[in-house]
């Protein structure tokens, strides 16, 4: 499950960060917790202009196309997915109360659901969290029919963003993690 959490809950997330067995990130917020998301997930200027020109349908279409068909867009989605895949939950602190940021998050949610079939939830107050937010959920919540797409994207992401030595080491580690999880072990 991926939670996009409004930054009004920064204090809750910050105070409870040691209880989260998950990836905690920040995105388009002045609060910094965890690593910020890769900038490639942001819409380019020409697509952003569509939003400010009130061309909502075009914005959604072109931004979705950008996320699903460019290296930067796919790397941005994979940056989000890695935390979810290996930790079971990702918490991303952002400014959901801002209309523009909320629109970006909605497009990202649609891209993640469509491409990887995973659960995404927006959280505006503490009660919006699922009861199991502090539990270690089983990683790899991707449906079986979406795993080949995820594996292809993961391999491309790793190759695009790491040196050859880093890439080989990380791919071995990820394979080890996956084999350990299949056998009920957490590496």
- Select the more confidently predicted residue: 146 or 86: 146
pLDDT tens-place string over residues 49-67: 999 999 999 999 999 999 9
Phi, psi of 147 (to 5 degrees): -60, -45
Q: What is the pTM of this model?
A: 0.81
* Burial profile 68-87: b = 16 or more Cβ within 10 angstroms, e = fewer: eeeebbbbbbbbbbbbbbbb
**In the structure encoding, which two tokens stand for residue 177, read together?**
């993690």
DSSP string spanning the chain?
-EEEEEGGGHHHHHHTTTT--SEEEE-SSS---SEEPPGGGSPPHHHHHHHHTT-HHHHHHHHHHHHHHSHHHHHHHHHHHHHHHHHS-EEEEE-TTSHHHHHHHHHHHHHHHHHH---EEEESSGGGS-GGGGS-PPS----GGGHHHHHHHHHHHHHHHS-HHHHHHHHHHHHHHHHHHHTT---
Q: Give residue 156's pLDDT.
A: 85
User: Which range (77-91, 118-132, 163-177) has the least confidence?
Assistant: 163-177
Domain boundaries, the chain: 2-127+136-182
Per-residue model confidence (pLDDT) at position 61: 97
Q: How confident is the model at residue 111 (pLDDT cuts 50, 70, 90)?
A: very high
Average of per-residue pLDDT across 24-45: 86
Give the strand pairing for 23-26 and 35-36. Answer: parallel
DSSP assignment string, 39-66: GGGSPPHHHHHHHHTT-HHHHHHHHHHH
What pLDDT is stored for residue 103 in this prediction? 96
Q: Are the CB atoms for 120 and 112 separated by under 8 Å?
A: yes
pLDDT at 187 over 60: no
* Mean pLDDT score across all residues of the chain: 82
Query: pLDDT higher for 9 or 142?
Result: 9
- Which pLDDT score, from 0 to 100, does residue 185 have? 47
Q: Which two tokens stand for residue 90?
A: 């990702």
* Structure confidence at residue 186 (pLDDT): 45
Position 134 scores a pLDDT of 57
Tell me: the pLDDT tens digits for 147-179?
Answer: 899 889 988 887 777 666 666 776 777 777 667
The full length of the chain comes to 187
């Amino acid at each position: 499950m991926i939670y996009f959490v409004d930054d009004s809950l920064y204090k809750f997330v910050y105070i409870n960060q040691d209880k989260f067995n998950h990836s905690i990130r920040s995105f388009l917020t002045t609060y910094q917790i965890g690593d910020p998301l890769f900038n490639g997930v942001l819409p380019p200027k020409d697509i952003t202009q569509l939003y400010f020109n009130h061309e909502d349908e075009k914005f959604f279409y072109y931004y979705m196309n950008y996320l699903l068909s460019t290296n930067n867009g796919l790397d941005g989605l994979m940056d989000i997915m890695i935390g979810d895949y290996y930790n079971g939950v990702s918490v991303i602190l952002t400014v959901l109360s801002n209309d523009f940021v909320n629109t970006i998050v909605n497009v990202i949610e649609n891209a993640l659901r469509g491409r990887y079939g995973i659960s995404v939830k927006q959280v505006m107050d503490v009660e919006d969290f699922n009861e199991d937010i502090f539990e270690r959920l089983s990683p790899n919540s991707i449906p079986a029919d979406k795993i080949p797409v995820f594996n292809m994207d993961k391999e491309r992401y790793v190759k695009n963003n790491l040196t050859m030595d880093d890439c080989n080491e990380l791919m071995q580690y990820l394979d080890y993690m996956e084999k350990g999880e299949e056998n009920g072990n957490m590496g």
